[in-house]
Amino acid sequence: MKLTEPEWLIMNTLWDKHPAKARDVVERLPSSVNWAYTTVKTMLDRLVEKKAVSKSKRGNTGLYEPRLSRRQARRTALRMVLDRAFDGAFGPMMYFLVEDESLSAGERKELIKILSGKSRSKGEQK
């Protein structure tokens, strides 16, 4: 499931804390974002339609909850870049990342540790 930019913002607040009322989402949106309540409402409803979010009701008030996991969304986003921008080649993308981004020595070390630690072969997890 592909998310658009504003949808990411909404989902992020939802992942951080849920269930949430539309009002909650509005309030927890990054301060740089100044959407009208109705805008957020519309987007929430569209996300429900897309099945990225589920909606229940307590009394008259709608409660929204992520249905799409953050992990899955991240996976989709990365795979998209991987496919479009690196023709699906994982190695080159990783190479690009460590080459292009300026990693601190600490970050590099951290990564090496992660990589070394994962000696066991991991099964697919879809």
Interface residue list for DNA (CB under 7 A): 2, 4-7, 21-23, 34-39, 41-43, 45-46, 57, 59-62
- Least Cβ distance, residue 79 to a copy of itself (angstroms): 9
Q: How far apart are CA 33 and CA 49, in angstroms?
A: 23
Residue 56: strand pairing partners:
63
- Least Cβ distance, residue 44 to a copy of itself (angstroms): 17
> What is the identity of the amino acid at 81?
V
Is residue 32 involved in binding a copy of itself (CB under 8 A)? no
Cα 76 to Cα 18, 43, 87, distances in angstroms? 22, 20, 15
CB 8 within 8 A of CB 48: no
Q: Provide the binding-site residues for a copy of itself, judged by CB under 8 A.
A: 3, 5, 8-9, 12, 71, 73-75, 77-78, 81, 84-87, 90-91, 94-105, 107-108, 110-112, 114-116, 118-119, 121-125
